[in-house]
């Protein structure tokens, strides 16, 4: 198989979203994935390890690792700690049972 024959991650996800079980799980974890991506981006842009970030925000490395996994959405107090320790902003909209970030 050639590299050019491989599908992109986005193509694979779009195909998998046709499966109702996959789509339900994908949608359920959307907010957690958004938080995870923001944390990873912050760490890499600031050259921080998980441990260094954890110290900055008053958490443990294992909590940062769990947040970065994107499996479970963080609590509001956790987002507040991250914001206080890093200056990251989280504008959140909760509507009809869904949670999402809104443009600041």
Which domains, and CATH codes, for the chain? 31-104 (1.10.260.40)
**Spans of the chain, pLDDT less than 70:** 103-104
| pLDDT, position 104 | 53
| pLDDT, position 103 | 59
Q: What is the pTM of this model?
A: 0.80
Residues in the chain: 104
Residue 52 to residue 55: CA distance in whole angstroms: 5
With contact defined as beta carbons under 8 Å apart, do 35 and 79 qualify? Answer: yes
């Amino acid at each position: 198989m050639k590299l050019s024959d491989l599908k992109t991650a986005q193509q694979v996800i779009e195909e998998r979203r046709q499966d109702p079980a996959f789509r339900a799980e994908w949608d359920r974890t959307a907010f957690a994935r958004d938080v995870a991506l923001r944390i990873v981006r912050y760490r890499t842009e600031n050259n921080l390890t998980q441990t260094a970030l954890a110290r900055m925000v008053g958490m443990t490395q294992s909590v940062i690792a769990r947040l970065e996994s994107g499996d479970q959405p963080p609590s509001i107090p956790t987002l507040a700690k991250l914001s206080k320790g890093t200056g990251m902003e989280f504008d959140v909209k909760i509507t009809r049972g869904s949670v999402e970030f809104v443009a600041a």
